[in-house]
A and B are shown apart, each in its own frame.
Chain A
Amino acid sequence: MSFETAYSGIGRLDRLSYRDTVVHRLDPRAKVVATLLFVVVVVSFPKYEVLSLLPFFLFPVLIGALGDIPAGFIARKVVAVSPFAVFVGIFNPLFDPSTVAIAPGVSVSAGWVSFASILVKFALTISAALLLIATTSFPGICRGLRRLGFPALFVSQLLFLYRYLFVLMEEAMRVVRARDMRSFGTRGTGVRVFVRIVGTLFLRTVERAERIYGAMLARGFRGEVPSMRREALRSSDAFFVLAAGGFFALCRFVPVPQMIGRLVRGLAG
């Protein structure tokens, strides 16, 4: 991933998260809990399960549509991070060649079924995580984590990291651009130059941290980043979590696709 794409990807997710839709207005805690629940339920399916996973696509589709998040953007990001799961999963067809019948007269090796299962799970869990951050501002997630009991120190660490991420990435981008303009081919991109660049960047970072600390002291910093917001969970948040949880439980324990399929065949014949 090139520097510019990574940077603009973060920026785009950040801008999307400040939209104002039904999904964006939900409490961050409700969305974090529902997303975690979703991931755990999806991952809990056995390794040969593919069809029963399909109803779960309703959750990311609904969140994305109601939250007005561009589907192509999320899909591209999911594909971009897939190599590790694909790399590990592609060995299933090689090591698991026993054949199974998926329809009368059509049989494939069990490895392909479990590989498909990994891919479906991957698409579901990754898109859910991306949609969480696309519909919830990062500071909102941090406040949610604090309310859910994460240590204050860790939460302020997350907030600081996020605040200075853009500043430092822009700084690093300028340095990289300067290096690239002065080097031809691979000359100048070696370890020696890299170490000096990172070292300089580090020293600048530390000096920046000292200035920030001084500025924070001047504004009355006492070790925790306070939030003026007093958020209470509303009934819509509770409804969202309950409805999502109920839907996940239904799809986990009832074979919905088989039932619909049987119904359709019954109607047709």
Chain B
Amino acid sequence: MHMADALLSPAVGGTFWAGTIGTIGYASKKLKEHPDDRKIPLMGVLGAFIFASQMINFTIPGTGSSGHLGGGMILAVLLGPHAAFLVMASVLTVQALFFADGGLLALGCNIWNLGFYPCFVAWPLIYKPLAGGGRSPQRILLASMASGIVGLQMGAFSVVLQTLLSGKTALPFTTFLLMMQPIHLAIGVVEGFVTAGVINYVRAARPEILDSSDSSAPLAAGISLRNVLIGIVALAIVTGGALSWFASAHPDGLEWSIAKVTGKGELPEQEHGIPAALKSVQEKTAFLPGYGFKPQANEPKAKEEAPSWPNVDAGTSVSGLIGGVLVLAMALGIGWLIRAFRRRSAP
């Protein structure tokens, strides 16, 4: 679920880069507060380990398709959230450069989606309380499963939001959501199962590795249910605030995509079934109430937002077509000439 440059607007990409760089700085600072030189090579080699283990695939029981390890949760459990976030960021940076997974502008979004949620949300709020002291394999399984699912669901939701806020796709919000979330539910279950398996294996073979990572993590001092609830409420407030800020800072992308949702003949279908249920949930939870999913409210907007480029008169567009083809031919021709020249000048 790597986000791609081509689907992003600079505002959304820049915002998530800012968030990601801020978190990298914060995590580096936190790690420096407990200087443990031993961790530096461990983190580096573990990054390479995540990379290598993602290449090993396994068959998912009953389906015959194959899955692989995501890594965010496993790192958070083994290293603590700050080190885990840095390792995830480095793994995704190398992937963006060498496999071109997503691209450079989308790298900020990808580190956020795959690093922030597992390390700073799922691990402290779900894994930690559920796993308790982490002595029983069943509790580790439960905790990994729940945190794996939640982390991936948040990541997938984040991809949907980033895509729609950027406004490059005409995909309606609910359709996109219904495509992304169930797939990632399945991936989350597999990921949780595998994470638990590896952690239990490591615990059985070398328990002291897990103990040392627990003690160096700042949140290990035991978390009460009350603190967890406060954390979740705070998170909801922050998320809501951030969302409304996004909506006001970049209104056209969101309004546009929502206008698209309502401006087409899709609405009759949405009056029943799962979309309708989702819609009523949305209305009840007042998700972005200002924008409303009602058709008549946004009808004029959709017309206003008519495409700007295709409106030009025919003469101009012919010039554009001719010029576009010429420019492309020139660019490729220059490249070809340089290559031909090089080959001749080479001995």
Contacts and interface: CB of A to CB of B under 8 A. Distances in A.
A246 interface: no
- With a 10 A CB-CB cut-off, give which of B13, B49, B55, B56 has the most chain A CB atoms: B49
Contacts of A62: 334-335, 338
Contact of A172 (B52, B167, B266, B336): B52
A168 B324 contact: no
Interface in A91-126: 91-92, 94-96, 98, 100-104, 110-111, 113-114, 117-119, 121-122, 125-126
Interface stretch (B90-98, B115-123, B236-244): B90-98
Contact of A167 (B9, B48, B321, B332): B48
Nearest to B28: A151
Interface residues of A, number: 127
Interface in B188-232: 190, 193-194, 197-198, 201-202, 205-206, 209
B44 A164 contact: yes
A110 B194 contact: no
A96 to B, nearest CB: 4
B214 to A, nearest CB: 15
A264 to B, nearest CB: 6
B28 A262 contact: no
Interface stretch (B276-284, B290-298, B305-313): B305-313
Nearest to B87: A157
A137 B142 CA distance: 43
Contacts of A239: none
Interface string B299-331: 000000011111100101111111111111011
Given A129-B103, A198-B56, A257 B324 contact: yes
B327 A92 contact: no
B324 A191 contact: no
A73 B49 CA distance: 27
B323 A258 contact: yes
Contact of B97 (A111, A129, A201): A129
Interface string B7-46: 1111001100000000011001101100101101111111
Nearest to A55: B327
Interface in A11-59: 13, 35-36, 39-40, 42-44, 46-51, 54-55, 57-58
A58 B324 contact: no
Contact of A157 (B4, B43, B336): B43
Nearest to A82: B4
Nearest to B40: A156
A95 B32 contact: no
B209 A54 contact: no
A57 B45 contact: no
Contact of A77 (B100, B175, B266, B323): B100
Interface stretch (B58-66, B132-140, B148-156, B267-275): B58-66
B52 A157 contact: no
B302 to A, nearest CB: 10
Contacts of B325: 54
Given A6-B99, A46-B308, A162-B94, A198 B69 contact: yes
B345 to A, nearest CB: 12
A65 B53 CA distance: 35
A216 interface: yes
B45 A39 contact: no
Interface string A57-89: 110011011101001000001100100110011
- With a 10 A CB-CB cut-off, give which of B56, B202, B307, B323 has the most chain A CB atoms: B323
A39 B105 contact: yes
B293 to A, nearest CB: 15
A40 B59 contact: no
A169 B307 CA distance: 48
Contact of A168 (B24, B51, B198, B323): B51
B100 A88 contact: no
Contacts of B47: 157, 160-161, 164
A221 B89 CA distance: 24
Nearest to A117: B168
Contacts of A218: none
Given A159-B44, A160-B45, A194 B58 contact: yes
B260 interface: yes
A91 B169 contact: yes
B251 interface: no
A141 B167 contact: no
Contacts of B40: 153, 156-157, 160, 223
A213 B41 CA distance: 6
Interface string A162-189: 1111011101110110000000001001
B104 interface: yes
A98 to B, nearest CB: 8
Contacts of B175: 91
A260 B326 contact: yes
A51 to B, nearest CB: 4
A91 B202 contact: no
A39 B7 CA distance: 12
B255 interface: no
Given A161-B47, A161-B87, A189-B59, 5 more contacts: A51-B320, A121-B6, A151-B29, A176-B56, A261-B318
Which 6 A-B pairs have CB atoms at the shortest separation, nearest pair first? Answer: A160-B44, A261-B323, A100-B310, A199-B201, A195-B197, A257-B323
14 contacts: A43-B9, A50-B309, A66-B338, A95-B171, A113-B309, A122-B4, A151-B29, A157-B89, A157-B90, A159-B44, A216-B41, A259-B323, A260-B322, A261-B321
